Chain A
């Protein structure tokens, strides 16, 4: 067993387990905590792919900013446990879950039957995953999307303030 196989297995099993934990907990805080664990596992997987920048941003943005927001809202709303996970096992939910599981099986069996044949990482993987490589591409080729994203974030900021404001025409 190589070190990389052990690391991949550790992070992959951790990621799947924490994802399942997230969607099965009744308590929203427990779900949020396991989702934070999931983000850390994904950061580890990004490191095995030589994507250092993405791994660090994953922890900063997802595990830091977004999950703080989620936990803050859970606290603000004072949510308890869900009485039941689902109101009742409805036909629609069952069929939807089955279709989703079928999709997963199809993808997995398809990939196992006909592998992509790409078995080793590119020689430049470590170089492009570093901050220098990302920054060079981001501020030259992708400068317009970068600026567009900043406008999107501004719009989201204003939208969030407007939506969460207390009295908006006494309506919604």
Chain B
């Protein structure tokens, strides 16, 4: 039985992974890598929910992970379509070269 890891370890790991995702979003220029960092953040939150679900014995956490995955798939489709449209229009995927909405 795999039962001797406390809940806190999973929460700490999840916080670290989330912050790695945040740093990726802040520092990178490539829209696709920013997108992948977003996925990192979503997965960190998923880990938290699965951990709570397993430790508190409630199935709701894992159901929510299922929905988060569905939303992430939808986000992937739309986000990558936006990146494609952006590349057709501006020939770049670097977010600092896109200032259409900058005043």
Which of A's residues lie within 8 Å of B, judged by CB?
2-5, 7-8, 12, 15-16, 19-20, 22-23, 28, 31-32, 35, 38-39, 42, 45-46, 48-51, 53-54, 57-58, 61-62, 65-66, 69-70, 73-74, 76-77, 79, 82, 85-87, 93, 96-97, 100-101, 103-104, 107-108, 111-112, 115-116, 118-125, 128-129, 133-134, 137-138, 142, 145, 149, 152-153, 155-157, 159-161, 163-164, 166, 172
Distance to closest chain B CB from A45 (angstroms): 6
**Chain B interface SS verdict (over half):** helix
Are the CB atoms of A133 and B73 closer together than 8 Å?
A: no
Are the CB atoms of B62 and A48 closer together than 8 Å?
A: no
Which of B's residues lie within 8 Å of A, judged by CB?
2-13, 15-24, 26-30, 32-33, 35-37, 39-40, 43, 46-47, 50-51, 53-60, 62-63, 65-67, 69-78, 80-85, 87-89, 93-94, 96
In chain B, what residue has the closest Cβ to A68? B76
Are the CB atoms of A31 and B33 closer together than 8 Å?
A: yes
**Chain A interface SS verdict (over half):** helix
Inside 8 A of A161's CB, which chain B residues have their CB?
81
Distance to closest chain B CB from A13 (angstroms): 10
In chain A, what residue has the closest Cβ to B52? A118
Distance to closest chain B CB from A48 (angstroms): 5
- Given the interface pairs A4-B3, A104-B15, the reply to whether A73 lies near B23 with Cβ below 8 Å is no
Are the CB atoms of A22 and B19 closer together than 8 Å?
A: no
